[in-house]
Amino acid sequence: MFSILDTCWSGLSLFLLFRYVAAHLGVAAIGAWSLLVATISISTVADVGVGRALLHFVPTAAAQNRRDDAASYVESAAITVALLFSVVLLVAAPAFTWAIRSFVVPGEQAMVLHILTYALFFLCLSNVALVYLSGLAGMQRYDIRSAASMIGSATQLIVAVVTIRFAGLMGLVWAQACQNLVVLICSAIALGRVLPQLRFPPSRFSLAHFKRMRKYGTSLQLYNFATFIFEPSTKIMLSHFGGLSMVGFYEMASRLANQVRTLVVNAIQVLVPALAELHEKDRARALLTYLRMSEVIWILACPIMAFVAVCLPYISLLWLGRESHEFVTFSFIVIVGWTVNLACAPAFFMGLASGYLRWNLRGMLLTSSMNLVLGVLLGHYFGAIGVVISFASSLAAGSLTLLIFNHRKFGGTPGQMFNAATLLMLPQLLAAVALSQIAFNVWRARLGVVACLGISGVVISVAIWGSLATNPATLKLLSLLQGRYRAHGGGS
């Protein structure tokens, strides 16, 4: 619940922040910021996986009452990340400058290069803060972790509103730096209370602990590297073929779809430990749990994403103060890609739970490589819209590849992969999205925005109700919830 609350709050603060920046600095400023952050985020491979490894080693040490070792893991990871990022970012700064000069159109380069040095500093702060957030997660204190993250988001929003008016884009840099600093201090202090053996600032480094974390994090780091190539390459190609404004519209569209997707993902990823245990004890039950999770994802993902698609013109009016054809079009395309990815999430989590990461990694590598090739081709012929189509197509292809091979690996049959009744939802929801767009574009001038919003709401509500009411997976889920309610004394 805290994780979902954190997602909702970060989404709201992001909406308000982008709304403010777009109004005062323009969408190109969002594009410049997004492109820079995506480019330098490639350097996050410098942590060699030690941050994610804490999610394994800290709880293991704590469960065995080796709390001093748990604290040593955190301190070793913090020192490693701080030193590696300081060196790597200094060495890589000229490469980032070259990349920006090579791929950003000349008239917009100054906007990005002006904030490069400061952005490198806050990225280092951010990754050290992530170490302490991972430590809190490892100690099973997701509530405190989410609270620190929400305080950081609030700090960023407040500082941005205060500074952007007189500092311009640099105000956004200061806001990001303040957010990272606040999260670092809050998470370190909180982790020190949960784990009193922890020292802050960190002063212990264990070579043995570092080697264990590095060995464990290698496979995950390969996946992270493929992920980090995917997102920055999309923004670099968008900047080259469309300019910073197109990067800004894409960033807003991608953040919107990803924020909604995260809500659903956070609700199901808590099953990963249960799947891991079942996979060791009873493979048949693990498969059954995975299949049920897949059914639930389908009946959640498609209606939720369809609802967001219906609301896009109204979100554009609210977020940008006008109807933006670029934002709405980009959002439609991105939503399709992330919906396919979301439907394949159970197969990804099953891979994590079982330790079988081969196709998780290969799916992401396919996504990144296909996006590079297809993005250049489609961008050359169709401009920015071609790059976004490449992004969504590559994401869908990599996700489906992961689903097909992981599903087969864990004993699922082809018929269980795509439920026929669930697939019938898609035409109904697509028809509702199309009707709502027609209502907005044809009747808005005559009826007004509020009336069109009401029509769109009725259309998508009917489509969602009709698609879910006839789906056996929905009825099965409701029956299960009713049984649990009665078992806990809820009455009839």
Q: Is residue 185 part of a domain?
A: yes
Cα–Cα distance, 258 to 88 (Å, whole number)? 29
Residue 258 CB coordination number (10 Å): 14
Q: Is residue 150 part of a domain?
A: yes
Q: Is residue 57 part of a domain?
A: yes
Q: What is the pLDDT of residues 136-164, one digit of tens each?
A: 877 777 788 888 888 988 998 899 888 88
**Residue 320 DSSP SS3:** helix
**pLDDT given at position 492:** 42
CA distances, 184 to each of 116, 177, 241, 482 (Å)? 21, 11, 37, 43
The residue-averaged pLDDT of 42-53 equals: 63
Q: Is residue 289 part of a domain?
A: no
Cα–Cα distance, 264 to 244 (Å, whole number)? 31
Q: What is the pLDDT of residues 432-487, one digit of tens each?
A: 888 888 888 877 777 787 888 888 888 888 888 877 776 666 666 666 666 665 66
Instruction: Please give the backbone phi and psi of residue 34, each rounded to the nearest 5 degrees, phi first.
Output: -65, -45
Range with lowest mean pLDDT among 10-19, 243-252, 316-325, 417-426: 417-426
489 has a pLDDT exceeding 60: no
Q: What is the pLDDT of residues 328-376, one digit of tens each?
A: 899 999 999 999 888 888 888 887 767 677 788 888 889 988 998 999 9
394 has a pLDDT exceeding 90: yes
27 has a pLDDT exceeding 50: yes
Q: What is the pLDDT of residues 264-282, one digit of tens each?
A: 787 676 666 566 666 666 7
**pLDDT given at position 388:** 92
**pLDDT given at position 410:** 78
Q: Which long-range contacts (CB under 8 A, 24 or more apart) does 208-213 make?
A: 209/57, 209/69, 209/72, 209/73, 209/76, 210/50, 210/76, 210/77, 210/80, 212/53, 212/57, 213/49, 213/50, 213/53, 213/54, 213/57, 213/73, 213/76, 213/77
Residue 32 CB coordination number (10 Å): 29
Cis check for the bond before 202: say yes or no (omega within 30 of 0).
no
Q: What is the pLDDT of residues 1-21, one digit of tens each?
A: 777 787 778 878 888 888 888
The residue-averaged pLDDT of 211-234 equals: 72
Q: At what angle do helices 27-40 and 244-268 cross, to 10 degrees?
A: 60
Cα–Cα distance, 271 to 353 (Å, whole number)? 9
Contacts for 320 with CB less than 8 Å, ≥ 6 apart: 19, 22, 27, 327
**pLDDT given at position 70:** 81
Q: What is the pLDDT of residues 195-207, one digit of tens each?
A: 888 888 787 888 8
316 has a pLDDT exceeding 50: yes
Q: Is residue 435 part of a domain?
A: no
Q: How many domains does the chain have?
A: 1
Q: Is residue 270 part of a domain?
A: no
User: Residue 202: which domain range?
Assistant: 1-231
**Mean pLDDT of the chain, nearest integer:** 79
Q: Is residue 158 part of a domain?
A: yes
Cα–Cα distance, 394 to 353 (Å, whole number)? 25
Cα–Cα distance, 366 to 15 (Å, whole number)? 31
Q: How confident is the model at residue 106 (pLDDT cuts 50, 70, 90)?
A: low
Provide the 8-state DSSP code for 270.
Answer: G
Cα–Cα distance, 419 to 471 (Å, whole number)? 10
Cα–Cα distance, 150 to 186 (Å, whole number)? 11
Per-residue exposure over 312-341, b if at least 16 CB sit within 10 Å of its own CB, e if not: bbbbbbebbeebbebbbbbbbbbbbbbbbb
Q: Is residue 173 part of a domain?
A: yes
**pLDDT given at position 280:** 63
pTM of the model: 0.70
Q: How confident is the model at residue 387 (pLDDT cuts 50, 70, 90)?
A: very high
**pLDDT given at position 472:** 66
pLDDT above 90 as % of the chain = 7
